[in-house]
Each structure stands twice: as C-alpha cells, then as structure tokens.
C-alpha cells in the first residue's frame, strides 16, 4: 500500500498545518477507503463536525472488517478530548488492493490558503486606501476647509503635480507675501489656480495681489483682488490627487469600489457554502 500521502499528512498535522493535512487525507481515503489510519487521522483534522462524524463512522466500518487498529475506548476518548493518543495508532492489517496515488503536490492546500489570504489583503488594502482618500477629500469640508487636486507643476517643488492641496478659509486682509492661495483669475474661469503671493499693494482702499508659480519664470500677467474671504493652502499630500481623480472616474469607481465589494461578497458566499457542504462520498 502506498502510504506517501498518509505519511505527509501526519507530518503536516504534527506541524499544525491542518489545512494541508486535511487535503492530503481526503485524497488518501479515496484511494484507500479500507485503511483505518487514514480515517483516524482525518477525524482529527476534520473541518466540520459533520465531516468528523463521517470519518469516525468510516473508521468503525474499516476496523470491523480487519483486526482492530484502534480500540473503541480510544475512539470515545477522541470524541471527548479532541485528540487520539499516538500510541493508539497501529499498523493497519487491511488487505485493500494497492493503488498508485498521483504524486502529492505541496502547493495544493497551501496555494488555496495563500490565494485567499492575498484576496483578503487586497480587499482590505483597497478599503484602507479608499478610506484615506475619502478622509482627505471629504473631512476638510466639515471643518470649513476644501481639497483641490493639483493638475499642473507650476508650484513644484513645494506642491507637486498630482498632490491634494488642503486650503482653509481666511480673511483676505490677513494674507501676506509668501502665502499660497487658491483663486480664480477671472469670473468665467472654470479651473482655480494655486499660486504664491509675491506682492501686495493697496489702491483706493482695495488690496491687489500679484501671484506667481514657484516653477514659473515670471509672475502672473494680471493682479487680482480677492473677496473678503480667501482660500489659503495649509498643506498638501503628494500623489493623493491622482487617486482622488482616478476614484472619481467611471473606471475608478468599478475597480476601487464595486469590484472589492463583489469580491468580499463572493468570499463570504464561498465560506458559507464550504461550511454547509455535505461530507464527500467514498466508495467502500
């Protein structure tokens, strides 16, 4: 009798690699349903109580056809204490026909666990990114601030392209040279500008501001006047602007929101089906 899978399963169980031991034993008892040791070890690492009872029943059936390899008292001890002493394991005397098992793959159970772990890590990683992005984009609104995605590199290196700039509303009269502000160059401008104040002058009781991008060679062509309240940039978060822009696009909504939700639901359904599935059938 080829006991390669049985030996590997026992070694895996002793290393507490229960998932691998279970997969090996399930394959082993399919080829050697009359070997009571296979059923014995499967009962120890069974995934559910239903599978455990099934394995114990098959163990009793196999033992009744040959010289008992495990006493009834040890079986009872297993059901009460959850473990069977190693001394109770004796070589089976079954006369089952020899069958050649395919070479066991070390990756079978391990790959399933690794893939599941990867899927869960990916889902929670995406969820963490989404939470961070939402925090950067939305939370400032609740404290009187605003978030703006930087689309150009005119303020590099202070504010790189693709950053998310966080601005706070302040009185215009409190602005000073060197402050970075968000403003619209004209009434019909759709995209606001983030530049630094390089000069302030007063004319007819009105303050006029000259602005300039740090990376630009010259100041902006026109002075601007600001309303009573202006937006002053306090800090920026690099690269987050790219994520905000992508997350707000149709493709981003699918990849960052819809797909992880579907994957999480699929994993939950898979777990529920796996726990409630009936024990596998074996030809005895």
Phi and psi torsions of 169, nearest 5°: -75, 130
Measured CA to CA, the distance from residue 41 to residue 36 in angstroms comes to 9
Burial label for 24, CB within 10 Å (0-12, 13-18, 19+), is: buried
Pairing of strands 229-237, 180-183: antiparallel
For residue range 203-255, what is the model confidence (pLDDT) as tens digits? Answer: 999 999 999 999 999 999 999 999 999 999 999 999 999 988 887 888 887 77
CA distance 205 to 125: 54
- Distance CA(271)–CA(276), nearest Å, equals 9
Kindly state the average pLDDT of the residues 154-165: 96
Angle at which helices 36-45 and 4-14 cross, to 10°: 30
Q: Which domains does the chain have, with CATH numbers?
A: 4-114 (1.25.40), 144-245 (2.10.109.10)
- Distance, in Å, from the CA atom of 101 to the CA atom of 91, rounded to the nearest integer, reads 19
Q: Which has more pLDDT, 197 or 243?
A: 197
- State pTM to two decimals: 0.52
pLDDT at res. 82: 47
């Amino acid at each position: 009798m080829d006991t390669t899978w049985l030996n590997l399963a026992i070694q895996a169980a002793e290393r507490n690699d229960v998932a691998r031991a279970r997969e090996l034993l399930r394959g082993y008892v399919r080829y050697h349903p009359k070997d009571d040791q296979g059923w014995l070890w499967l009962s120890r690492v069974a995934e559910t109580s239903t599978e455990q009872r099934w394995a114990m029943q098959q163990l009793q059936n196999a033992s009744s056809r040959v010289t008992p390899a495990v006493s009834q008292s040890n079986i009872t001890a297993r059901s009460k204490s959850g473990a069977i002493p190693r001394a109770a394991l004796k070589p089976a005397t079954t006369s089952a026909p020899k069958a050649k098992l395919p070479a066991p793959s070390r990756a079978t159970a391990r790959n399933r666990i690794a893939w599941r772990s990867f899927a869960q890590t990916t889902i929670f990683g995406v969820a963490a990114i989404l939470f961070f992005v939402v925090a950067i984009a939305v939370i400032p609104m609740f404290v009187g601030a605003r978030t703006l995605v930087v689309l150009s590199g005119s303020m590099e290196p202070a504010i790189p392209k693709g950053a998310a700039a966080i601005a706070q509303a302040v009185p215009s009269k409190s602005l000073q040279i060197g402050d970075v502000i968000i403003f619209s160059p004209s009434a019909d401008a759709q995209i606001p500008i983030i530049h630094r104040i390089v000069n302030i002058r007063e004319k007819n009781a009105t303050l006029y501001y000259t602005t300039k991008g740090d990376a630009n060679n010259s100041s902006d062509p026109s002075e601007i006047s600001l309303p009573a309240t202006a937006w002053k940039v306090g800090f920026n978060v690099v690269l987050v602007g790219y994520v905000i822009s992508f997350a707000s696009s149709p493709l981003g909504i699918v990849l960052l929101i819809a797909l992880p939700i579907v994957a999480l639901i699929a994993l939950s359904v898979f777990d529920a089906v796996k726990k409630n599935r009936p024990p596998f059938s074996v030809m005895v």
